[in-house]
Structure formats: C-alpha cells, structure tokens
Chain A
C-alpha cells in the first residue's frame, strides 16, 4: 500500500507540473500572437466609416485601458494566474464584457454532449467489432468489416463530413445540416427541443463515428490477434472453455487496458472541441468558440479554452494512471 501512495504522490506532482507548464505555454503563445485585439475592435466599431482619426486614437487608448492591456507582460501574467486559481478567466475581449467562463459554460454542453456520446459509441462499437474480428478471424463478415475500416480510416475527416452533408442535406434532404437545434424553440428539457437537438446531432455524430470507428476497430483487432496466441488463451481453449467466455474473460479484458487509456484521453480531449466538426456542421461548441477567439486575438478566451482543455486531458491521464495499478496486475509500482 505504501508503494501505491508513493506512486500516487509522484503522479500528482507530475500532474501539477504538466498543467503548470501547459498553461504557461498557452499564455506565452497567445501573447505572442500577431493579432491585436484592440485593432480588431477598432476595425469592428469604426466600420461605419465616419469616425475621425483623433476619435480613433482616443478609442484605442480607452480600449487598452478597458481590456487591461496597458500593463506590462509580467503584470498581465500575475493577473492571469491569480484569476486562473480563482477559476476566473476575466472578460472576453471580442465579446466584452461577457466573462470567458460564461462563454465556455454555454458552449461546453453542446461539445460535451456530442463528443461524449459519439466517442462512447465509437469506442464501444469499434472495440467490440475489432475484438470479434481479431478472435473470429475466419468470419467473412468481419473480414469485410476490416477491409471497410481500412478503406475509410485514411479518408480525411472533412471529405466524409461534406459527403454526408451533400447526401442528407441536398440530394436526400432529410436531416438538418447546420446548427444545434431548430429555430424558435425554447431551450430546455422539453420534447420539441430535445428531439430537435438529437436530430441536429445525427450528421455530426455520424461523421465522427464513421471516421473514429476504424482506428478503434483496427487497434483492437491487432491487440486481440496477438493475445489469442498467448499461452493462457491457448490453454483456456485447450481446456475446452466456451469460446464466448474465452473471448470475454481472457482476451477482451486483457486487450481493453490500452484502449481504456485511449478512451480517457479522448474524453479529456473533448474540451478542445471538435474544431472541424463544429465548423463544418455549424455546431455551437467550444471548437467554434476557440477558432473565432484566435481570429479575434481574444487572449482571454483562447487561454480559457486551452486551460480547461489542458486540465481536462491531464486529469484524464491522471485518473487512468491512478486506476491502472488497481485494475491491471501487470503494472508494477516502483
């Protein structure tokens, strides 16, 4: 038990260090951006044209003051960390004065809902089919699935997404192609809205599942193909155990460990948002928020999203690291 606590403490320290370095890198990178949020704002608010140059100069000064960009980089760094520790990322510059946390809070449920469901479906289906294909290697159906998975896997995501859009949005227009729900519905736990959300998520989810399925399928098939040659599996089969029991208790259980790690990292990664998915399908999630923030030079929002993402991925990895020794006896604590 002492060895586990030592392991726990070591992993916890690593977690803190990784998060600290990651967030600092995010701070440095965003502040090295050549995009000036003040100029972006000036361009937006003066686009009606008749603003005199001296007024613009005054506006530039006001905005720098308002956005807190007048201090030195060191002062901004200290302010940033003091806010992060309080869970406050300050106001968004491109949507001033809305707090960054409010914007993330509004976008996150969309991203999480779509990605958690599609990731879990993809993971379960991919591993199940991959496991079966690795174990029942003579099945023609499963062989065909392997061929399809290998064929679909390398296709760029956006090609699949656009094909789905054209097929189900134009040639056979039965599914909505943009947005998270239909217009003029009251958001909440009511059937018209929930069913509309489900309907709007079909195409983005399908595109994610189609592309993601292949890698889980191929990975699991490969793992199972190796495990079936292990002595303990051969012994179990020779002993006359039921093949379903061999597959479930001896093969899949041992093959799943690395796949669970992958799942945890995938789930942690959803806080990045599925940038391309959200852009292609106009889905109102964190990915869209992040891309728009980058273009607007919105330091606060970019930092907010990346910090949440760094913490989420790190937590995912930490949880897996801490659970591993408990669920897999092959992991040695040193």
Chain B
C-alpha cells in the first residue's frame, strides 16, 4: 500500500489545499494536549503558538525586535501611541475604526474594557493578576476611546498590551459576555480579530490550519497589504532530525529553531533554504542574553571579586565553538547584541569598556579585548572560507564586538583578595574548603546552552575551581525560582530588541522584589542581586516616558554598574536557527531585509505574511 501512494514524509501536505497557497510553519510547542482550547486568556488552556497569537488575535501595539515594516513600533488596534497624564496614573488610548471580528461584529472600546473587566473578575485567568494589580477602572467615553485609570503611577503600563512575542490579547466581548465561567470556556471555534480564521485542527494537537479571511482588509494587518499565503499550517514536525528531513522534502517552510548542526546540514544540502544571515553564522540573534547567572545569595558568590575572577577564567571563543560551533554573537555587556542595542549600547560603550579597569589589589588590569569577535571570525575562516565575512562592520554585527581577555593570573589575584588561597592547583575558600561551583544546565532540552556550560566548567576546573555540571533537565524552572543553584546558564536579561527601553526585564530587578533565600523569586532576577545604584536607575526609569532619550542614558548607567559588579557573566545572544525554505515562498525577513522577527511562535511574525509572495 505504501508504494502505491504518493511519496510523503512528516505528516505530508494538508489534504485538499494547493501547496502554492499554503505556508507550513513549525509550532515549537509540539503536540498540544488539549488541542481544542483556544481561550488564550485561560491559564494553560491550549496552545498559543499554533497560529492563535500570530494569525487570529490582536492587541493595541506591537514592537518588533528588528526594524519592523514601518519602524519597530506599530500601532495595531490602537490608532496612535499611548498618551499618559503627567504622573502616569492614567493612560488614554485612541482605537482604530473599521476593524471587525471574523463574525462581523465591529471591534470597539467595549472589547478592550471587557478584556480587563472579565479577567479582573476571574482571578484564575491568565492576565488577572497583572490587571487587578494595576487597573482601578476602565472608561470608554466613546467607541474609539479607552481610558485606563491606574492604581499607581506606571509609565510602562502600555507594555502589557504591546506585543514583542505575546501580550494581553483583546477578547471579543460579544462572545465572552455570554459565557458562565470564562476560565473554563474553550473558545472553540475562535472568533478572530486577525487576518486569518481557523479552518481545521487536529484533535490530537499535531496541526492547525488557518485560512485568510475574505475581509482581511478589516483586520489591522490589512493596511500593510494582502497576506500572501491563503492558508497557514502550524504543525508539530517532531524532533530536529525530522524537521531537517521535512524541510529537505519541502514539507516545512519555516523551522522555528534547530541545532547549529541541523542548520549547517540544511545550508549544505538545500540551496533553497535561507537563514537570517545568508551564510555563517546563519542564526537570528534573539533579544535575550544567555549568561552565567550567579546566585548572589550564595556566601562566596556575594563577593564581586569572586564573580569577576570566574569571568576572567573563561575563554569565550572556546565557549562559542562548543555551544554554536562559532555561530554566535558575543556580548561583553548585560544587554543582548541584537535589534537596536548594538547602536544604542554596544558601539557607544566601546570607549568606556576599553578604559574600564579592575584593581586586583596587586595589579591593575584592563580586561576588555575589543578584537574577540574578529578573532572568532579569523578562527573560523580557514574551515568556513568565504562564508566568513571580512568587513569589520559585518563581523561586529554577526560575531559581536569584544569580550574579556582570559586572565587566570588576574583571576587568582582577585580570589586571593577575597580570602581564597590556592593549594596545589586547587582553590580553597576562606574557610579552607575546596571552592565548589555547581553550574546548572538544562540538559538535552537546551543543548546549545548545555554545551556552553560544560565548556565553562572545564575551563574553571583547569583554573583550579572544583566546578561541576549540574543537569537540571525538567526541574530547571522550579530550581531557578527557588534559588537552588550556585550558577546556571540561562537568561535573566530579555529586551524589546527593537526599542532601547530596558523595562522588559529591569523593573523586576528592584530590591523590593528580591526574595529571601529559599523563597520563590519573581521573574527575571534569578541572580537575586540588589544594589542601591540599580534601585536608583530603575526608579528613575519608572518616572520617565517610554521614549524619553534619557532612558538610554540610564540604560548605559545600568550597563556600567553590571560590568563593575558582574552579577551575571554575559556570554552571547541566543541565536535562533530559523530555517526558511524558498521553494514555495519568497520574501522572508532576513538580516538583509530585517522587517520582522522570523521566529514562528512570536506574535509579530505575522508581519511576514504580508511580505511573502509565491516563489513561482
């Protein structure tokens, strides 16, 4: 029977849909257990990266981590940027008119108010807490105006309704007002505010197919043009080897993320495959910053000298080779080298970094080496040939600028000043015990970072630290929240990418939110680090507008403080190897035309739909 049927790999092509009208994308959430749930406002109910947030939902604003179709900022359901009052206790929003839900009901301010009110009334819903904590009331003086009265001053409240990869999506009032318990309502079939509606889905959660609305002009995406694909299929293509096979067989147009080796295979075997960079290092730099994150509540790691000593023992070139086979974009500072940040932070701070000096007590060292990115490129050139750029500017964008020179002697001086002593090749703590550092990694769930961590542990061991790899597998989230680690590889810095403001992660770094040892830590200050200067910077940022240029200056102050204190050792951007097959579609976002983030699960990947055109 097998040979009598047409060839097929993966799950084949969706039946009864012309391939030339269909874009097939990977849903990185895999197989969805409760496939028939589309109520994204309920916790854990269904998938959100199955096209629901990319194709069917919408909210007030978007910020693309790249340049965007018409700038990184996009007024989506809102007609203009948010307008705050002087003390940031009120946010006024003007909405677009002429937008309709897929069932023909016109979108209005009532939907925005319902989004807030329904979730505040039902504490178990996804955004209930954030809305209840912030919103005193919502007023809708007319169908196109929404006024949020806030409980306290908050100059970044709008970011809750601003998509980078997700946000608080607007729900349809006319549907939810008829529902008895909104938290237990499956929203199947979903009413769409986006350009697509659900065509069909697999009850076992392997695939979802969306169809372009006939009235796509009445969605907010419509003003950017007609989306190219009439159909979108978000699928679970299986593990990495199957993703590669499926794309080689042209049955998976966009792979969300594969290991570097998979990307190299595709680049070699399929000339139609395109990644963010045309050649090495291929990957799209995510606006996150993988780093060695210390638990600064650990007795020994409280000391800045110890943290800096561990940084100086690292050779980042070897780490990038181990993790990404060199296909990484390094960063010496605590901001990812992606989006707008190289221009806002990395390049302007080069001079400061070159002058930055550490006094070890015995000597003064200037640890910054501005040529490390170039060294990585030079190291790869013999084996990768023409794929490695020679233009310094391109090298800087692709591989990063500088990093810290490996300086084991300097590290030793810092440890000595901290009261440590060396016995043979073994560093002992001030109380005479071997200096043990357990570096937690996620295991095969995140192989790139695991390989980076393994290399760092080896380097620390060679320098005399009793370093150990601590594989957390599925327990990482729990242990990270509980502070049950000495150090781990991951990210606590995550930014907008397309906007220089650092509020995405920074507000939760204020000392008011740092948990006691053993207690769960709120999001993104896993290092549990506090500093009066940091609090001052955060408080100053809270008082200024999102677009205030002073925000960049405060951001640079933050970078300087982080460099001096080293509570995390920044390594590199999280490179996402998104592979895009050009057999059926052309016009994908790339480093040459960075109009959108190409990663399939991000809400703003919807912008690629309007730029994609049939290849033939």
Contacts and interface: CB of A to CB of B under 8 A. Distances in A.
Contacts of A180: 204, 206
Interface string B459-477: 0000000000000011101
B209 A184 contact: yes
A294 interface: yes
B8 A63 contact: no
B242 A48 contact: no
B166 A47 contact: yes
Contacts of A284: 31, 204-206
Contacts of A169: 9, 242, 245
A33 to B, nearest CB: 8
Nearest to B184: A97
Given A56-B523, A183-B14, A95 B202 contact: no
Interface string A26-69: 00000000111001111111111111111111111011011000
Given A49-B504, A92-B33, A183-B209, 15 more contacts: A39-B477, A43-B481, A47-B165, A50-B156, A53-B523, A62-B124, A66-B124, A92-B34, A103-B33, A170-B249, A173-B249, A174-B3, A177-B238, A184-B15, A292-B31
B26 to A, nearest CB: 12
A98 interface: yes
B164 A52 contact: no
26 contacts: A34-B475, A35-B477, A41-B43, A50-B162, A51-B160, A56-B522, A60-B520, A92-B33, A97-B42, A97-B183, A98-B37, A170-B248, A174-B3, A174-B5, A174-B8, A182-B8, A183-B233, A184-B16, A187-B203, A192-B15, A199-B2, A199-B5, A280-B239, A282-B239, A292-B33, A295-B473
B203 A106 contact: yes
A288 B205 CA distance: 12
A334 to B, nearest CB: 48
B43 A175 contact: no
Interface stretch (B129-137, B301-309, B357-365, B395-403): B129-137
A60 B482 CA distance: 13
Interface in A219-276: none
Interface in A280-294: 280-282, 284, 288-289, 292, 294
Contacts of B205: 284
Contacts of B17: 184
Nearest to A203: B2
B126 A170 contact: no
A165 interface: yes
Nearest 6 pairs of A and B residues by beta carbon:
A53-B522, A48-B166, A284-B204, A184-B14, A53-B513, A58-B129
A55 B135 CA distance: 12
Contact of B522 (A57, A95, A202): A57
Contact of A51 (B31, B249, B523): B523
B494 interface: yes
A178 B237 contact: yes
Q: Which of B1, B33, B123, B236 has the most CB of A within 10 A?
A: B33
A110 interface: yes
B43 A289 contact: no
A5 interface: no
B474 A295 contact: yes
Contacts of A41: 43-44
Nearest to B244: A170
B477 A181 contact: no
Given A40-B477, A52-B508, A106-B203, A282 B236 contact: yes
Interface string A180-210: 1111110100001001001110100000000
A86 B593 CA distance: 59
A269 B568 CA distance: 48
B552 interface: no
A49 B477 contact: no
B202 A183 contact: yes
A137 B171 CA distance: 73
A60 to B, nearest CB: 7
Given A45-B126, A187-B203, A39 B44 contact: no
How extensive is the interface on chain A, given as a class?
35 or more
A179 interface: yes
Interface residues of B, number: 83
B159 interface: yes
B532 interface: no
A90 interface: no
Interface of A: 34-36, 39-60, 62-63, 65-66, 92-98, 103, 106-107, 110, 162, 165, 168-170, 173-185, 187, 192, 195, 198-200, 202, 279-282, 284, 288-289, 292, 294-297
A177 B245 CA distance: 9
B34 A98 contact: yes
A205 B162 CA distance: 48
B485 to A, nearest CB: 12
Contact of A50 (B15, B235, B237, B504): B504
Nearest to B206: A179
B33 A94 contact: yes
A293 to B, nearest CB: 8
A294 B474 contact: yes
B348 interface: no
Given A173-B7, A292-B33, A55 B129 contact: yes
A30 to B, nearest CB: 13
B437 interface: no
B548 to A, nearest CB: 18
Given A106-B203, A178-B242, A63 B43 contact: yes
B207 to A, nearest CB: 5
Contacts of B487: none
B114 interface: no
Contacts of A36: 477-478, 481
Contacts of A59: 128-129
B477 A179 contact: no
A202 B2 contact: yes
B9 A176 contact: yes
B477 A177 contact: no
Contact of A183 (B207, B475, B507): B207
Contacts of A51: 129-130, 160, 523
B159 A50 contact: yes
Interface string B504-529: 11011000010000001011100000
B311 interface: no
A297 B478 contact: yes
Q: Which of B44, B134, B474 has the most CB of A within 10 A?
A: B44
Nearest to B503: A50
A183 B523 contact: no
B12 interface: yes
A34 B133 CA distance: 30
Q: Which of A35, A177, A183 has the most CB of B within 10 A?
A: A183
Contacts of A168: 2
Given A49-B505, A199-B1, A183 B12 contact: yes
B520 A165 contact: no
B200 interface: yes
Contacts of B523: 42, 46, 49, 51, 53, 56
A31 B350 CA distance: 51
Given A51-B130, A294-B474, A282 B31 contact: yes
Contacts of B504: 49-50
B10 interface: yes
Nearest to A192: B15
B254 to A, nearest CB: 16
Interface string B403-442: 0000000000000000000000000000000000000000
B11 A181 contact: yes
Nearest to B236: A282
